Amino acid sequence: MQSKEQSELKIYIDNTDRYKEQPLWKYILQSVEESHLTGATVYKAVAGIGSNATLHTFDILNLS
């Protein structure tokens, strides 16, 4: 029995990134589905530190 080689690709995007009038994450998932890849997952970060060492957080109070 042969085993298939597996790879993992991580793509970091902003929640506001768009492509052709739709969220970029949705476009990426549709592309994965159309390419018959074995899986994909979208994660939403609560907080992180960017390349410029600035803390970024998701704060519900900033949406209003």
Every domain of the chain and the residues it spans: 18-63
Cα–Cα distance for residue pair 30/1, rounded to 1 Å: 31
**Token digits for 37?**
């890849």
Residues forming a β-bridge with 49: 55
Question: Tens digits of per-residue pLDDT, 7-42?
Answer: 888 888 888 899 999 999 999 999 999 998 888 898
Residues forming a β-bridge with 48: 56
pTM check: above 0.85: no
Tokens 């476009």 sit on residue? 27
**Token digits for 64?**
């209003």
pLDDT at 27: 95
CB atoms within 10 A of CB 25: 19
**Which has the higher per-residue pLDDT, 28 or 4?**
28
pLDDT at 60 over 70: no
At residue 18, the 3 state secondary structure works out as strand
